[in-house]
Structure 1
Amino acid sequence: MIEDGLYSLIKTNIPDFIGVNEYQMYYLAVFDPVPPPYCVFRRYKREAELDLSSTYGLFNSGYVMDIYHNDSWALLDLQQRIRKLLEGLPLTTVGGIFVQGLLVQDDFHTIPALMQEARTRSYQGVLDFEVIHNI
């Protein structure tokens, strides 16, 4: 588990329905006293890295992280902290996976339309990044 301020990266092993295989799942938990921050984290691609000189089998995975908050300044601060954490991961091992490199492709902050009424406005921050890793 990695902890630094307002967020925590958590790894769990989830068994399949038969109980034979276990799958590793990662969760990014967001802790913030201002309600209601939450995060949606998904992988949208995984492909073999085209590095013929390497003896290690490396993969290139793309991830998108959507962060929602009702305070735009707190969201911007949280988004910058998460980006700083992500940019510190290259050449480290996270949950048994060696992170060779990490590149933030896109980082933006939007104001979605009103969801229910004026006081329930939600702001969205998006981090799109690619990770070069083993396994």
Structure 2
Amino acid sequence: EELPTEVARQNPEAPGIFQAYGIELPTGENLEAELDGEWKKGKYGFQLDVSYFHVDIPQTADGIEAYLSSDMIKGIGPVLAHCIVEKFGKRSLYVLDHTPERLLYIHGISETKLEKIQEHFGTGAYHIIRENPFRLCEIKGFGFLTVSDE
């Protein structure tokens, strides 16, 4: 969907760049997300009050690294995300989903750290969330409005 004219023109140095705000929005560079909400005029121009978002599962190594280092996967920060993608490349999400024990080959991931990562990513989490995003409601910080598309 195209941006409202006022939004597209409000920043001549970076056309189409705007601020979005909402609960539990993902952060990180190179993340692609679909946002839905209501445009509101604020002190600094038009902003999107996000009522729904969906993060696309990345297919590139850079996208996977951004996804893993975002605040969506607890226990993995930017450095660890880089190490995981450096080791497994585009197969990183597959490894997390199907053979997470292979993460133990990465310096900085201990058995305890792996358990924490699995608590948030979980066995089969990628497929579970894809089939039933409302399962995210089971995680602290995710509510019905965050995961629903209504």
- TM score, norm. by length of structure 1: 0.25
State the structure with bigger RCO (CA 8 A, min sep 6), 1 or 2: 1
Q: Which has the larger share of strand?
A: 1
Q: Which has the larger share of helix?
A: 2
